[in-house]
A = this chain, B = another copy of it.
Amino acid sequence: MTRSAEHVVSEYNDKDEVGMKIVSRIDDVRSAVMQARGEGKKIGFIPTMGYLHDGHLSLVEISRGITQFQVMSIFVNRLQFNDSSDFTNYPKDLERDIAMAGKCGVDLLFTPDDREMYKNALTTVDVSRLTDNLCGAHRPGHFKGVFTVVSKLFNIVQPDLAVFGQKDIQQAASIEKMVFDLNFPVRIILAPIIREKDGLAMSSRNKHLDQQQRADALALSSGLKHAEQLILGGERDVKKITHEIESIIKKGNPDSIDYISVVSYEDLSYIDRIDGKSVIALAAFWGTTRLIDNMIIEVAGDSYKCIY
């Protein structure tokens, strides 16, 4: 039997030794944050949809290096689901999430329900252009739901900084654009992609891969590593780089390649030559498992930096 979220939370809060506080009301977030601020603490924020894994915990760790009070939200945001059954079936394990968040140094866990977040809501936030390509092409309305809930959470928590993973580069870059455009007083930190020892980007989906697929899927990170070598060698032509990445990914026998895209970081529009800050983003299927990976490239003249 699944116990209700209220039950799990109240049981947790009843314990005496608790360091982390769990709240589900907006007003309670505000007063806890105000108190922390009153103590001179800077506020870090990690928005999540729960079902935490090491990737989430690495975001908290980064935030703890810069701020003194960590707020994490767990909210499965129906606005960002294109498919209502995906929303209903989104995995949940609040007890495990609470244990993990508490251990990794979260000070305040915000677990609102749908009613607390959306009461006859009619307001939306959208960022054009950055959501047209990459994953956005297949997910109409998804990013609008993300921007809207992130705007709400920023206004509720009023953090000094928020951490997003580079893994979902389109989300991270477009939230950075939203923050810039709307002047949110929040610093956005991109957390590097956490990888297995052999280079595969960590994902809760990796467990769906069989042994052969798991080995083959290394083709994604290998493609990025090869692209870095090409860029180190002076190659700037996107067509050539894309072509070489494609050969490498194909050696991993993917069932299909969704995209190999080279875009400007500024607005995620397609580019012909790598210049300034750019992104190589990959998505491919092994079986029914869709995996993504990416690399940020900063080029200035002959010098370059690749972050992946």
Q: What separation, in Å, do the CA atoms of A250 and B66 have in the docked complex?
A: 67
CA distance A158 to B182 in the complex (A): 12
Q: A182-B152, A183-B156 are in contact. Are A127 and B120 (CB under 8 A)?
A: no
Q: In the bound complex, do residue A182 and residue B129 qualify as a contact, i.e. CB atoms below 8 Å apart?
A: no
- Bound Cα distance from A41 to B132, whole angstroms: 44
Q: How many copies does the complex hold?
A: 2
Residue A26 at the chain B interface, CB threshold 8 Å: yes
Contact of A183 among B127, B155, B184 (CB under 8 A): B155
Asked whether any CB of chain B lies closer than 8 Å to the CB of A267, the reply is yes
A96 at the interface (CB under 8 A from B): no
Question: A125 to B30, Cβ gap below 8 A?
Answer: no
Which residues of B are found within 8 Å of A129, using beta-carbon distances? 122
Known: A26-B183, A152-B182. A123 touches B122 (CB 8 A): no
- The answer to the question of A151 belonging to the interface, with a C-beta cut-off of 8 Å to chain B, is yes
Q: Are A123 and B126 in contact (CB under 8 A)?
A: yes
Of B121, B152, B158, B181, which one neighbours A123 at CB under 8 angstroms? B181
A26 to chain B, nearest CB (A): 7
A 244-275 contacts with B by CB, 8 A? 266-267
Query: Interface extent on A, as a size class?
Result: 20 to 34
Considering the complex, give the chain B residue whose CB is closest to the CB of A126.
Answer: B124
Alpha-carbon distance between A129 and B123 when the two chains are bound, in angstroms: 9
Q: How far is the CA of A184 from the CA of B158 in the complex (A)?
A: 10
The distance in angstroms between the C-alpha atoms of A26 and B182, with both chains bound, is: 12
Q: Is the CB of B30 within 8 A of A185?
A: yes
* Interface hits, A110-150 → B, CB 8 Å: 119-130, 147-148
Residue from B151, B152, B181, B184 in contact with A121 in the complex, judged by beta carbons closer than 8 Å: B181
Does A177 lie at the interface of the complex (its beta carbon under 8 Å from any beta carbon of B)? yes
Within 8 Å of chain B (Cβ to Cβ): is A283?
Answer: no
A178 with B123: CB separation less than 8 A: yes
CA distance A26 to B183 in the complex (A): 9
- A118 to chain B minimum Cβ distance, whole angstroms, is 8
| Contact partners of A148 in chain B: CB under 8 A | 182
Known: A124-B125, A124-B126. A152 touches B26 (CB 8 A): no
Contacts of A183 in B (CB 8 A): 26, 152, 155-156
> Whole-angstrom distance between the alpha carbons of A119 and B179 in the complex?
12
Q: A30-B185, A120-B266, A122-B128 are in contact. List 4 more A-B contacts (CB 8 A).
A: A119-B180, A123-B181, A125-B151, A151-B182
Closest 3 CB pairs of A and B: A123-B181, A155-B183, A121-B181
A contact residues vs B (CB 8 Å cutoff)? 26, 30, 119-130, 147-148, 151-152, 155-156, 158, 177-178, 180-185, 266-267
A/B interface sample: 24 pairs, CB < 8 A: A26-B183, A30-B185, A120-B266, A120-B267, A121-B181, A122-B127, A122-B128, A122-B130, A122-B177, A122-B267, A123-B127, A123-B147, A123-B177, A124-B125, A124-B126, A125-B151, A126-B126, A148-B182, A152-B181, A155-B182, A155-B183, A155-B185, A156-B183, A158-B185
